[in-house]
Structure 1
Amino acid sequence: MKRNISPVYYGDYLQLDKILSAQSLQSTRYGEPAHDEMLFVIVHQVYELWFKQVLHELNSVIDAFAQDSIPDQALISVVHRLNRIIQIQQLMNDQISVMETMTPQQFLAFRDYLVPASGFQSIQFKRLEISLGLKREFRIDFDKQSFYSRLKDADRELLEGLEAKPSLFDLVDEWLARMPLLKFNDFDFWKYYQQATDTMLSDDRQTIVTNTTLSDTEREQELRDWQSTRDNFDALFMQENYNKLREQGKFRLSHKAMLAALFIKQYSEEPIFNLPFQVITALTEIDEKLTIWRYRHAMMVQRMLGTKIGTGGSSGHHYLKKTTESNRIFLDFFNMATFLLPKSMLPPLPDAISRYLGFYLSQGKS
């Protein structure tokens, strides 16, 4: 039976009467409208619309990882939606260039009318950070102690509720940790890996010691750096040491999740690991795009305000620059390159291992 579908018109469907009448300029309250305030308002409204879409995609990804099992078909959708988020992030980063067509003096024509409004108060952006895994114990806020107390009750309850729920980082960590450590019949990958890395690190140390172009001071520094790398490698094989470094903030992934992610990245070209590798790669890129957005935002604020404080009371450029490197989520995926071996040093995976891992990668939570 054919449905009786009512006609829908472009303007009504998009509710353009609401959208196009939502630009209220503060400068008109005090005299002539500041021409560039319209740009400022629209850019930030567009950001909020993209935040809404990113949260829509992100929540579906979180729901997928929250299930008892994650079959390949679900991972295909996850990768697709994560890649869509990446493309949206690229748009948001490019949008800063539009803002930078405004000069500092053009911004100053209306800037003082915005106090105490600040992008820091974006509830959707805070939802995005928390949902990804940047909960309050991991992030830098310019006013961490009183931030939640300054929110409306409904917004505070929403964000505090999110803080209590598993984030995407938490769920991905659990998903990775479900993969068994690889000791299967006569195949012991980690024993092989430890022997190979011992050889690699010994060669590195010998290169430093015999490098005649280094001064004594430079050689001592390189040897200290080498020892730090050696300690990180050793921690992979000693969970107690790993947990100590994790408590110090050097790692965030659990020990099992770190080993699983490392194995997936080592064998990324194996069909059984292609989808998990794409998930890890997409999450790495999302974190990178977010870091680039923070950096470009910080540079734009410095360009517009110099060292002035932000309208919301933060230290402006200084605060934004500080969050650029500190407010990271999937940093372990970036640093994992430290532990990768050349393909030529990897043993081939037996067919039985691929079948064994294929079963576990799609199984439910233990």
Structure 2
Amino acid sequence: MKKNIEPCYYGDYLQLDKILGAQKLQSAKYSDAAHEEMLFIIVHQVYELWFKQILHELNATIDTFNQKVVKDQQLTQVVHRLQRVITIQRLMNDQIAVMETMTPQQFLSFRDYLVPASGFQSIQFKRLEISLGLKREFRVDFDKQSFYSRLSDDDRALLEGLEAKPSLFDLVDKWLSRMPLLKTDDFDFWHYYKQATDEMLSDDHETISTNDTLSTTDKRQELKDWQSTKENFDALFDHAKFEALRKEDKFRLSHEALLSALFIKQYSEEPVFNLPFQLITALTEIDEQLTIWRYRHAMMVQRMLGTKIGTGGSSGHHYLKRTTESNRIFLDFFNMATFLLPKSALPELPNAIKRKLGFYLNSVN
């Protein structure tokens, strides 16, 4: 049965008069209206609507992790909401194909009327990035040096305030770092793990050294890469070495959080690890979809503008291409595959650990 007293009508509920009346062609102010500008406006308005929904999901997720306790039921809801974000991201990435139905010359018919507007000025997108964990210190140089100087005082205050709050990355790092029972009197996973990784690395070194198909130069490079990988493995067992590599941006997660995430991924089939594994996988996918978004956007800009500067004064395609690899958030989750071992090399978890192991955020401090 209906619960409303006054009738609710479709157009009024969705405020279609405001939405459908919000396409004001800039080209029409100065000349004949450019036909393709309507498409350009609508595509970007739809992006902003999806940004709003993604922020709605992320803010709820951050609120959950910012509590003193996060229970399994809440984690189920978090994973569901993050999966929704991923689905929206895929839709947004596909939407770029709609924009690409416009030719470069069609874009040029109204492009010069848009100066100095730029997607770089999307406050919602910056909120999305900062909320995930891409704060100022992690951006490419052009982004972190120039962005805030282009904003109104209100927008600058909004984003700087957000910069000061814990991001989803920060809260997940703290949550992972408190995972208990990696080591007990009867079981030391890291003892088994180090034995297995030492054997694996030794086998890799032998494979490179005895590979007659490699030239001297190639073999030298392969051994150099092997040494770098070995140093990363060594850092797993030495907090000081890990922190040194972290200062060089080799890692971003804290030492404790990385070990916990690795433990979860090694035993992802265990029921107790299922939700944490889904969470890590969802965050990895969100970062991947965001990278795809940047890449496809960069390719579209190159297709439309070539090497011209953007309307906002950035270096256009060059800048966007740099952000594709530089502005990553959960890169440690991607690189974790380096440290994974085959199931056959892992010790069986004792029943006592299977019974006791739980994932609750005990404190936000």
Matched with 1:126 is 126
* TM score, norm. by length of structure 2: 0.98
Change (3 A) 1:141 1:297: farther
Instruction: Give the Å deviation of 1:149.
Output: 2.8
Q: In structure 1, what residue type is equivalent to 2:245?
A: L
Structure 1 outlier segments of 4+, above 6 Å: none
Return 177-186 or 288-297, whichever deviates more: 177-186
Q: In structure 1, what residue type is equivalent to 2:17?
A: D
Q: Deviations over 1:2-49 (max 9, x none)?
A: 955221000000000000000000000111100000000000000000
Counterparts of residues 105-184 of structure 1 (less than 5 Å): 105-140=105-140, 142=142, 144-180=144-180, 182-184=182-184
Mapped to 2, the partners of 1:201 and 1:140 lie a distance apart of 34
Matched with 2:326 is 326
Segments of 5+ residues of structure 1 without an aligned counterpart are none
**Per the alignment, in what secondary structure is the counterpart of residue 144 of structure 2?**
coil
Q: In structure 1, what residue type is equivalent to 2:168?
A: L
Contact 2:127-2:159 within 8 A present in 1 as well: yes
Q: In structure 2, what residue type is equivalent to 1:206?
A: E
Contact 1:181-1:260 within 8 A present in 2 as well: no
Matched with 2:225 is 225
Contact 2:181-2:357 within 8 A present in 1 as well: no
Matched with 1:212 is 212
Q: In structure 2, what residue type is equivalent to 1:101?
A: T
% identity of equivalent residues: 78
2:360 pairs with 1:362: yes
2:307 pairs with 1:307: yes
Instruction: Give the Å deviation of 1:103.
Output: 0.2
Mapped to 2, the partners of 1:301 and 1:240 lie a distance apart of 44
Change (3 A) 1:29 1:3: closer
Mapped to 1, the partners of 2:260 and 2:273 lie a distance apart of 11
Q: CA RMSD in A?
A: 1.2
Matched with 1:253 is 253
Segments of 5+ residues of structure 2 without an aligned counterpart are none
**Per the alignment, in what secondary structure is the counterpart of residue 113 of structure 1?**
coil
Q: Give the aligned length.
A: 364
Instruction: Give the Å deviation of 1:356.
Output: 2.4
Contact 2:57-2:85 within 8 A present in 1 as well: yes
Mapped to 2, the partners of 1:301 and 1:40 lie a distance apart of 13
Counterparts of residues 183-198 of structure 1 (less than 5 Å): 183-198=183-198
Mapped to 1, the partners of 2:315 and 2:142 lie a distance apart of 8
**Per the alignment, in what secondary structure is the counterpart of residue 213 of structure 2?**
coil
Mapped to 1, the partners of 2:341 and 2:144 lie a distance apart of 41
Matched with 1:337 is 337
Mapped to 2, the partners of 1:318 and 1:284 lie a distance apart of 25
**Per the alignment, in what secondary structure is the counterpart of residue 162 of structure 1?**
helix
Change (3 A) 1:94 1:60: same
Change (3 A) 1:77 1:226: same
Change (3 A) 1:332 1:349: same
Instruction: Give the Å deviation of 1:145.
Output: 2.8
Q: In structure 2, what residue type is equivalent to 1:131?
A: S
* TM score, norm. by length of structure 1: 0.98
Q: In structure 2, what residue type is equivalent to 1:28?
A: A
Mapped to 2, the partners of 1:160 and 1:4 lie a distance apart of 41
Mapped to 1, the partners of 2:77 and 2:224 lie a distance apart of 45
Instruction: Give the Å deviation of 1:260.
Output: 0.1
Change (3 A) 1:109 1:233: same
Mapped to 2, the partners of 1:363 and 1:45 lie a distance apart of 38
Contact 1:301-1:317 within 8 A present in 2 as well: yes
Mapped to 1, the partners of 2:351 and 2:109 lie a distance apart of 68
